[in-house]
Amino acid sequence: MSLRINDTIPNLTVETDQGTLKLHDWVGDHWAILFSHPKDFTPVCTTEFSAVATLSDEWAARDTKVMGISIDSAAQHTKWKADIEKVAGTKAGFPIIADEGLEVAKAFDMLPAEAYMPDGRTPNDSATVRAIFIVGPDKKLKLSMTYPMNVGRNFAEVLRALDGLQTAAKHTVATPANWAVGDDVIIPATVSDADATAKFGTFETVLPYLRKTSLKG
């Protein structure tokens, strides 16, 4: 069964390069991002995980934990982190799941239930195991993105999406296209004009169903 937006993520017990973790305990009361890749010691994935490492202060500022996933072993992850840190120029302090049995890949619908990995696999064998999952403190999936093998992920967009999710959750609003922190937000259509005025003060009515306002503070 597919994991859909607002589904509770499975509370799997996973092995990582930092030991055994239970997903719900690891998330705790925080936001969390799980990001997967097809194989350790590959060029695009190394640049991506290096980008995640360099953003450690940004994740912390958003009270967000990050965890990588691949179907390589924990020992391989530990070795690969030396390369990640060389490219990033900083420590890669986040854990990486060793999903050798494909339990996480299948539970998060990255691979079909009957999938298996051949001996001597290449990155192409696990190409679909390349996704991002943003999880809320309620352990529910808030957003997912899937990327092809030859296009590196844009973690500035991941941060922007995370900011949008957190802003929407905190203020009960929506965010428009290309929104960034500080831009106007959208008042949900279910909120009356009177309630919108009481909550937000002034707002702009662009269309009967499109009202924009700035957030105080």
Task: State how far the Cα of 131 lies from the Cα of 216, in Å rounded to an integer.
Answer: 34
Q: How many residues does the chain have?
A: 217
The residues that are catalytic are: 45
Alpha carbon distances (Å) from 118 to 5, 121, 122, 159: 31, 5, 9, 35
Q: What is the pLDDT of residue 217?
A: 58
Looking at the whole model, is its pTM more than 0.85?
yes
Tens digits of residue pLDDT in 34-74: 999 888 999 999 999 999 999 999 999 999 999 999 889 99
Single-letter amino acid, residue 39: K
CATH fourth-level superfamily of 172-213:
Antioxidant, Horf6; Chain A, domain2 (3.30.1020.10)
Measured CA angle at 59 (ends 107, 68), to 5 deg: 35
| pLDDT at residue 128, as a whole number | 52
Token readout for 155 is 């973690």
3-state DSSP assignment of residue 160: helix
Is residue 70 a contact partner of residue 40, using CB atoms and an 8 Å limit? yes
Confidence (pLDDT) at 118? 54
CATH code for the domain defined by 13-153 = 3.40.30.10
> Which residues in the chain show pLDDT less than 70?
1, 112-129, 217
| Secondary structure class of 38 (helix, strand, coil) | coil
Name, in order, each residue with C-beta under 8 angstroms of 148's C-beta and a sequence gap of 6 or more.
Answer: 127, 130
Q: What is the pLDDT of residue 113?
A: 54
Domain layout of the chain by residue ranges: 13-153, 172-213
Element (H, E) at 213: strand 210-213
Domains 13-153 and 172-213 share a fold: no
Task: End-to-end CA distance of the chain: give it in Å, rounded.
Answer: 42
